[in-house]
């Protein structure tokens, strides 16, 4: 079970983020998912599927060449934890400000609960402060 769940999370980062396959969100994330640790452009918590879809559209639009590398992945039962490295170039205007054409590199961690092959809950902790500094926003 743990190895299968690791495969699901590897697929999540590869297909949803690296390849930008929006249809993979519905293949891997439950419609009643509970999300922690992400915010929309107004600083409001993103807690559900629809909020995540908008976050993904905006973030991938801003960084269409994004590359996320899983540095560590650990699973126990239905929980999977990853430590990731993100590299991208800010070429899109979808974050509420013009593209800076700056390269960014930052790290993050995610813990998910997987049930019946779907992500049902996710905790996210990514160094968006570092990203914002690299974009010249701070």
> Hey, is 11 helix, strand or coil?
helix
pLDDT confidence of residue 108: 98
What global pTM score does this model have?
Answer: 0.93
pLDDT confidence of residue 43: 85
For the chain, which domains are there?
2-134 (3.10.450.50)
User: On the CB side of 36, how many CA atoms lie within 13 Å of its CA?
Assistant: 10
pLDDT confidence of residue 138: 85
Enumerate residue ranges in the chain where pLDDT < 50.
none
Residues 119/12, Cβ–Cβ less than 8 Å:
yes
DSSP 8-class letter at 29: E
What gap in Å lies between CA 3 and CA 80, rounded to an integer? 9
Portion of the chain with pLDDT greater than 90, in percent: 93
> In whole angstroms, how far apart are CA 56 and each of 66, 69, 133?
12, 17, 21
For every residue of 70-116, DSSP letters joined together read EEEEEEETTEEEEEEEEEEE----TTSS-----EEEEEEEEEEEEET
Q: Which long-range contacts (CB under 8 A, 24 or more apart) does 38-45 make?
A: 38/124, 41/95, 41/96
Which residue, 37, 41, 45, is CA-closest to 137?
41
Which residue, 47, 45, 44, 4, is CA-closest to 28?
4
pLDDT confidence of residue 28: 98
């Amino acid at each position: 079970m743990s190895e299968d769940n690791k495969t699901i999370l590897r697929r999540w980062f590869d297909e949803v983020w690296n390849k930008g396959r929006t249809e993979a969100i519905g293949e891997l994330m439950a419609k009643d998912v509970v999300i922690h640790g992400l915010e929309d452009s107004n600083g409001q918590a993103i807690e559900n599927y629809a909020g995540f879809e908008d976050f993904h559209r905006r973030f991938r639009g801003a960084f269409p060449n994004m590359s996320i590398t899983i540095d560590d992945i650990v699973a126990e039962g239905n929980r999977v934890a990853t430590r990731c490295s993100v590299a991208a170039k800010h070429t899109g205007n979808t974050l509420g400000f013009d593209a800076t054409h700056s390269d960014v590199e930052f790290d993050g961690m995610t813990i998910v609960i997987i049930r019946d092959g779907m992500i049902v809950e996710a905790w996210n902790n990514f160094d968006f402060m570092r990203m914002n500094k690299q974009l010249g926003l701070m």
